[in-house]
Amino acid sequence: MPAPSPTQPPPEAVAPLMRGIAVLRALSHAAGTLSLSELERATGLARATVDRVTATLARLGYVRLDGRDAVLAPRLMELGNAYLAAIRLPDLLGGRAAALAAELDESVSLAVADRDGVRHVHQATRRRAMSLSFRIGDLLPAERTAPGPLFAAGWTAAEWTRWREHRAADPDGRDFPAVPPAAVPHGEGFERRAAEAGRRGWALDDQLVAPGLVALAVPVRGPDGRIVCAAGVVSHTSRHSAASLRDAALPRLRAAVHDMERELLAARPAGPAPATCPDGGPAARIRAAKGELGRDFVESLARGLSVLTAFGEGRDTLTLSAVAEATGLARATARRALITLEHLGYVTAHERDFRLTPRVLDLGHPPLSRTTLAAVATPHLAALVTRVHDSASLAVLAGDDIQYTARVATGRIMSVDITVGTRFPAYATSMGRVLLAALPPARRAERWAGTGLRPLTPRTVTDPGELGAVLESVARSGYALVDEELEEGLRSLAVPVRDRAGTVVAAVNVAMHSVRRTRAQCVDELLPQLRATAGRIEADLRVAGRFSPVATA
């Protein structure tokens, strides 16, 4: 793993914060999972240090300890989200990118410069078998992308020198693990291509970043005339050559960029966000965590990471005093954290003001930006099963059926045996009724108009009017209890799972043999646990889905 900085840390740097970030970067570059022994080798840290750091990160919700493995958790995305919210580009320009993607029927992305590399911060993709997309936050070498020459056209002599020295020191591209090694030295002629891109106002990637991929990019300038990002159209050689993509897309891309620049010009500065939190802010939560975990909790690591989350919408630029106020940390503590983060390249300082840099996205965002609802839910289902000793599942609505997308079974001799991918009629299941109850009443009724409902057991509700009344009750109560309607002896309880917008996207349930608990015990004992689990899944979805879509199936 490449070192974050070639220089020695300043005396005020917080060593535990540097170690914690080294662990997060190692996990991010390893697709999100490493054993503790592998982390020890990747970071060069002592095993005892790795254990304390991962225990702290787990307590913060940033990693999950799964046996001997450390796994990045969705909550870690709040660090990258702070940067994306601060720059506001996905929120301001995402709609224009989506409209262009629909118009061209090609993927469209927004990218920013990160020193001598490029990071994508937003993309509007097209659903195809041959999917073309980048992970949000992946660092790509500038010379192998379409946006790179546009940014490099404005480099100073010192920046060109840094680029040459970096490539000479890393000829195999180890600092860019997201792209395969170049078959030929693509750095040759890059200065010429950058000069051409500066004159023309557009640049092409003709299979430089990956075989078969072609891309066209145009700079997007802010009100001050500086390039704030590059908008790009990405296609495959089965659809376009680089030249045909330019001919087909350049006029419409330029028109879209013109509209994007008008959006930036018209955008009002985001209003300042509250400086402190009602619960005392991160400092109070860190103290509570320290009390729970004791000496194994690395408090200075937690404090340093909380500084990154002080930034966000309305807080793109903060003074030291503002950081201290937003986090609840002492000024001296906040100052040392900022010095450390600046040394590592995650914060930049100008006079008294601090900003986050795109490098913050390197902290877990790329692997987590492809997460799925099942991946988010499974650890929480496993924790629920441990507490209630019955199987738990997550399902989505698939036509008139539910489809199981995540499941954790219990170890009982007699247990409910269902596999991921199984489908059941929605009307006869607890998760199905929760999902149907979230639909408008007219849409519920349409599903069985003229077809009737098939009895699966003697207890199955088959009268449409009765089922409609049951679904109204489920909508009011927020849960569904189904007793031996799908299969005799099977009782299950389910609650909804909502996304960031409050839309029901899935349901979670606990299923058991009817002799395990009475109906009243299900409501009294299981319902609070089930709702708490759904709440934890929803909390992760709010973070994971802020700037990256979470696939539900």
In angstroms, the CA 129 to CA 519 distance is 46
Hey, what are 89's tokens? 């580009």
Beta bridge partners of 119: 112, 139
Q: Are strands 504-513 and 391-398 parallel, antiparallel or unpaired?
A: antiparallel
Alpha helical stretches, state H, 236-364: 242-266, 281-293, 299-308, 320-327, 331-344
Please identify which residue in the block is written with the tokens 């010379």: 143
pTM of the model: 0.91
What is the pLDDT, as a whole number, of residue 128? 62
In angstroms, the CA 327 to CA 348 distance is 18
Amino acid at 272: P
* CA-to-CA separations, 398 to 351, 378, 394, 513, in angstroms, rounded: 56, 20, 13, 26
Hey, what are 188's tokens? 């040759």
Q: Which residues contact 155 (CB under 8 A, 6 or more apart)?
A: 163, 194
Q: Which residues contact 388 (CB under 8 A, 6 or more apart)?
A: 510, 525, 526, 529
What is the pLDDT, as a whole number, of residue 453? 86
In angstroms, the CA 204 to CA 193 distance is 9
What is the pLDDT, as a whole number, of residue 129? 54
**Strand (E) positions, 147-226?**
203-206, 213-221
What is the pLDDT, as a whole number, of residue 179? 84
Hey, what are 332's tokens? 């001296």
24 φ, ψ to 5°?
A: -65, -40
In angstroms, the CA 204 to CA 371 distance is 30
Closest to 57 measured CA to CA, from 22, 81, 14: 22
DSSP code of 387? H
Hey, what are 505's tokens? 């996207």
How far the first Cα of the chain sits from its last, in Å, is: 33
> Quick check: 541 and 376 in contact, CB under 8 A?
yes
Which helix (H) or strand (E) element contains residue 401? strand 401-408
Closest to 219 measured CA to CA, from 306, 89, 105: 89
What is the pLDDT, as a whole number, of residue 325? 93
Neighbours of 267 (CB within 10 A): 14
* CA-to-CA separations, 533 to 380, 385, 418, 504, in angstroms, rounded: 6, 10, 20, 15
Print the SS3 string covering 87-118: HCHHHHHHHHHHHHHHHHCCEEEEEEEECCEE
What is the pLDDT, as a whole number, of residue 417? 64
Closest to 111 measured CA to CA, from 102, 122, 124: 122
State the maximum Cα–Cα separation within the chain, in Å, rounded to a whole number.
81
Q: Which residues contact 225 (CB under 8 A, 6 or more apart)?
A: none
Mean pLDDT by 10 residues, the chain (553 residues): 62 95 96 96 96 95 94 96 96 96 95 96 79 83 96 96 92 85 71 96 93 95 96 94 95 97 87 58 77 84 95 93 93 96 96 95 94 95 94 93 92 63 93 95 74 86 90 96 92 96 95 88 94 97 93 79
Which helix (H) or strand (E) element contains residue 406? strand 401-408
* CA-to-CA separations, 402 to 92, 373, 418, in angstroms, rounded: 36, 15, 13
What is the pLDDT, as a whole number, of residue 186? 59
In angstroms, the CA 1 to CA 54 distance is 18
Amino acid at 535: G
Hey, what are 376's tokens? 């988010």
Distance of CA 187 to the CA centre of its chain: 31
Closest to 10 measured CA to CA, from 329, 342, 362: 342
Beta bridge partners of 215: 205, 234
